Structure 1
Amino acid sequence: MKKILTLVFVSVLGGIIALSAYTFFLNNEQIVTIEDGNKQPSFLNANYNAKTTNVLNANTPDFTLAAENTIHSVVHVKNTSLVTGGQTLQDLIYGRQSKQRAQVGTGSGVIVSPDGYIITNNHVIAGSDKISITLNDNRTYEAQLIGTDEKTDIALLKIDAEDDLPAIEFGDSDTAKIGEWVLAVGNPFNLTSTVTAGIISAKARDLSGRNSQSFIQTDAAVNPGNSGGALVNSTGQLIGINTAISSQTGSYIGYSFAVPSNIAKKVIQDIIEYGDVQEGILGVSILNRNSKEALEKGINEIEGVYVSEVEEKSGAKKAGIRNGDIIKRLDNIEVSKFSDLSGYLKTKRPDDVINVEVLRDNEIKSIPVKLSKSDIISVDFIDMELRNLPQKFKKETNINEGVVVQSNNNKFLYTKLGIRPGYIITGINDIPIKTVEDISDFVAKYGSNAQDNIFKLEYMNTRLERKEVIFR
């Protein structure tokens, strides 16, 4: 009996202990759960700035001031020309003249002086009979064409306004850096100025394949109506005139190109002061680094440009630059390709002195060179660019007289005679043509009527076969 009572007591005591433990742990678990349920998430305050955000804000430029300083300086340019339509059958039957109709082209322009001078592209106003300018405040004026330069695709216009106009400030395009932020500002559809942003992707770009251009390349969106508009830096200074896009569709697909402001500024100053562009010539020929000769010489990977020939009577010849010199720098501008060199020279005039740094015999030499006039080397003549025969060519062919056709925009001579780059003009009207000086003498004698006074032309084709044609 005693054992039974003891067993019952132990069982009851165990039950009490188990129930107490269960109640204790259950209550604690409930308390924990309630506390977690009432706890709020840790949201950041709206005005909190993480360190990375501060860094990004510090390095990202604010374009609002640059845009404000620029948009009123960019204008809409409308070019109206009269074109003759094709003759219909009725016109032929009744002997009627083809009707003329107005053809309109548009682009942008940039006000560069308070008294109304405006830069645009030559291709925007080419062939125009009437040019009108619409300002950003919608005032419209008829513009006068002051001058153009096809080589740089720059044209200068002038309007007469009642008050001073908001002119843009020129920047120094030579100091612009790859990766620098820029704005492209245009007035393409007469809807007031528009702004796009990007960076400078490259400098001294040549799209012609002839090393005759030196564009700033950007990834700012530029469409055809933006041609002639402004490329500005983050402070609103003009560093380029938007000119071209790289596209197969006619619309922007990633890259755009601008004439550097230093070149554009020099062109318009020349037009205002001299009536045309004054070209300063260094007087050297540069070996194409991809040519067979460059590969044979092992200079296709040099840093700089290799001088293959120095023109007689040029500033380079007089200063002592030699064949085989490698030009590394012009003044403070590094030269790695020919478009670097040609682009900088386009900002200079005859008689300007530049410092040419060359590598010769593993030594760097600094040589001051006085630039020559372009007519000692080449001359424009009846829509052709003619150049003295290179010395190397003279030695190889034993031809010592004549001028070579560098480019030909004379439609008659091209289509009727087939005269193209590489042909050599050897005589005009039985007068031997030895150098471009003889061409200059002929132009001085007949002026703008030079082509009308040519009755005989002697030339050689690219196979060096001699030809002559009599016009009367």
Structure 2
Amino acid sequence: MKQMKKILGITFLAALIGGAAAIGGYKIFENNQTGSTISEKQQLYFANNPLKVSSTGEVNFVQAAAAVSPGVVHIKTTYAAPSRGDNNSQMDIFRDFFGGGGRSMPSAPRAASGSGVIISADGYIITNNHVVENAEKVEVVLTDRRKVQATVVGRDPNTDLALIKVNATGLPVVKMGNSDQVQVGEWVLAIGFPLDLQTTVTAGIVSAKARSIGIIGREQQGDQITEEEYQEYQRTGKRPKQAANTSIEAFIQTDAAINPGNSGGALVNANGELIGINSAIASQSGYNQGYGFAIPINLARKVVDDIMKYGSVKRGYIGVSFVPLSADNSKEIKTTEITGLYVNDVVAGGGAAAAGLKAGDVIKKVDGVTIYDSPDLQEKIGRLNPGDKVKLTILRNGELKDYSVTLKGEASVGIVANNTTKGATIEKLGATIAPVTPAQKSKYGLSNGVVVTGITEGKAFDNYGIPKGLIITKVNGISVSSVADVEKALPQTRNNMISISGLDGGGTFNYNFPDK
């Protein structure tokens, strides 16, 4: 009897401890369920709401479609009256990059639509930059048919991504997967709102990875890339004229049907996990004719986390310019190598220069992974931050050697302001600006712009990490060439957000911050 009482006592004590631990664990979860980044919000949400789908290898997407569809939303946007100066980037789909050839494009519509993916229960939604760019009003139609107004939290034209927010809670969330694990030939689903239809699911396979189509930079500049320009880019790695940029293109290519309206929607695997954000199609007609392109979710995750933390994307730079090697250009470059990235210039003061890289080196691997083309490098570096270290395997004089490169921020590759005039100070921005010089216009192919020649500590530009030396070409979507132009454009905000865009040493940039 004593033994029985002892056993019961131990059992009761164990149950008491277990219950206390469970309650304590729940309280910890409860106190931290908000999360400070999308990655944390996702981890906490799915710890409490595990995904109830599994991949059996069969061609059956019923569970995956049912799990994801509630978290994909319809985005409707409206715009001011169009003008011929608009770059039409608010149109629901990127211009087709084949067959444009200098055709004039129609004026931007007064209204457009796209898709978005809910990535947190408290209302954060990821979509394409070109879906919401320049929109005066962004409306989200949820799966339960509710219509809610959205605020643009931030945009990143370099990846064609945007983060928007609706004032709602308890929303269904789509789980982020791991795009590094995606394999060519794998079954995928594209979910969105094509052609203004209700939620539509299409299936296909992954046709290729790390695909660059030269479209993001051209869309940023409001111009068309022809088939000849695209073929030249593929052959030499040289971007078309006027397309110097820091756009990151490492698309997942799929033959799942994607049409206008799918932009910003979900590309998911058979497990119902988000592996990409649908962004563009290859088409001469503007409608699906074979292939679609999605932004890898691992890259998108970094972009939205940065937007939440800083209001813009903080990128690290190696500090080199390069040309992808191939059998077609190796003789011209005078090398026997046909794979890797040929370094044709090293930025003084950049991370590569500090690590000892030189012009003429060939980058063969990044962190041990073989590099074949520029997207292989750009996507990996695009997910890192200033101060991060990356191991580059370099071929020099027939020998391979590893170099540890510490990535540096935009200032390390920034455009140095060589203007002799100090410029004028704009108090609202906390910056001194001056018109670009004729030499800068010629060097960067510009028709307008102003240079940031000074930053006031504690003011807007300083608070939001906008460095000295950048060339601003647009303020709130309006082209600027002088201090007067900037001051005139500043009140023309949308959603009470000031938008600053232009060029830095690596290409284009876009900053968005509240109008205070």
Matched with 1:220 is 256
Q: Does 1:188 align with 2:194?
A: yes
Partner of 2:152: 145
Runs of 4+ in 1 over 4 A off after TM superposition: 290-293, 401-408, 425-428, 439-444, 447-451
Q: Distance in 2 between matches of 1:201 and 1:333?
A: 21
**1:198-213 correspondence runs (5 A):** 198-208=204-214, 209=233, 210=239, 212-213=248-249
Measured after TM superposition, the shift of residue 80 of structure 1 is 1.2
Residues of 1 paired with 2:261 and 2:133: CA distance?
15
2:304 corresponds to which of 256, 268, 272: 268
Say which of 316, 321, 334 aligns to 1:285: 321
SS at match of 1:225: coil
Q: In the alignment, residue 413 of structure 1 is paired with which amino acid? A: N
Match of 1:373 in 2: 409
SS of match in other structure, 1:222: coil
SS in 1 for 2:448: helix
1:280–1:374 CA contact under 8 A, matched in 2: yes
Counterpart of 1:259 in structure 2: which amino acid?
I
For residues 108-137 of structure 1, what are the alpha-carbon distances to aligned partners after superposition, in whole Å with 9 as ceiling and x for unaligned? 000011110001111111221111101112
Structure number with bigger Rg: 1
Question: Which residue among 37, 60, 75 is the counterpart of 1:62?
Answer: 60
> Could you tell me which residue of structure 2 aligns to residue 452 of structure 1?
482
With normalisation by structure 1, the TM-score equals 0.65
- CA distance in 1: counterparts of 2:58 and 2:416, whole angstroms: 48
Aligned to 2:51: none
Check if 1:176 corresponds to 2:182: yes
Change (3 A) 1:173 1:402: farther
Matches within 5 A, 1:225-236: 225-236=261-272
The answer as to 2:458 corresponding to 1:413 is: no
Q: Hey, what's the Cα distance between the residues in 2 that align with 1:304 and 1:341? A: 10
* Separation in 2, partners of 1:300, 1:258: 34
Give the alignment of 1:26-45 within 5 angstroms. none
Aligned to 1:310: 346
Q: Structure 1's 203 and 380: CA in aligned 2 closer, same or farther, altered over 3 A?
A: farther
Assess if the C-alpha contact under 8 Å between 2:448 and 2:481 holds in 1: no
Query: Structure 1 residues 58 and 107 mapped into 2: Cα distance closer, same or farther (>3 Å)?
Result: closer
Q: Check 1:148–1:406 CA distance in 2 against 1; reply closer, same or farther (3 A cut).
A: farther
Structure 2 distance, partners of 1:328, 1:190, is 45
How many residue pairs end up in the alignment? Answer: 342
Answer yes or no: is the 8 Å Cα contact 2:330–2:337 preserved in 1.
no
Give the aligned partner of residue 69 of structure 2: 71
Q: TM-score, normalised by structure 2?
A: 0.59
Return 5+ residue gaps in structure 1 as ranges.
1-56, 87-100, 382-400, 415-424, 429-438, 456-472
Pick closer, same or farther for the CA change 1:220–1:129 going to 2, 3 Å. Answer: same
Deviation at 1:359, TM superposition (A): 2.6
**How far has the Cα of 1:299 moved from its partner?**
3.5
Q: Which has the higher helix share?
A: 1
1:294-443 equivalence runs, <5 A: 294-299=330-335, 302-379=338-415, 413=448, 441=468
Distance 1:301 1:453 in 2: 49
Amino acid at match of 2:483: N
Deviation for aligned residue 1:177 = 1.5
Change (3 A) 1:357 1:295: same
Identity over the aligned pairs, expressed in percent? 40
Q: Is the 8 A contact 2:303 2:313 kept in 1?
A: yes
Q: Secondary structure at the match of 1:66?
A: helix
Quick one: structure 1 residues 353 and 150, their matched pair in 2 at CA, closer, same or farther if it must change by over 3 Å?
same
For the Cα contact (< 8 Å) 2:324–2:340, is it kept in 1? Answer: no
Task: Name the SS of the counterpart of 1:287 in structure 2.
Answer: strand
Aligned mates of 1:75, 1:133 — CA distance in 2: 7
Q: Deviations over 1:150-206 (max 9, x none)?
A: 121111110011x31111111221221111211111123554421111111111211
Task: Call closer, same or farther: CA 1:354–1:61 in 2, change over 3 Å.
Answer: farther
Q: Decide whether aligned partners of structure 1 residues 407 and 73 sit closer, same or farther in structure 2, where only a CA change above 3 A counts.
A: farther
Deviations 1:301-355 (A, max 9, x none): 5221122222211111112223332212212543101121112111111111112
Cα 1:65–1:453 shift into 2, 3 Å: same
In the other structure, the counterpart of 2:80 is 82
Cα RMSD of the aligned pairs, angstroms, is 3.6
Higher relative contact order (CA 8 A, sep 6+): 2
Contact 1:76 1:189 in 2 (8 A): no
- Note the C-alpha offset of 1:289: 3.2
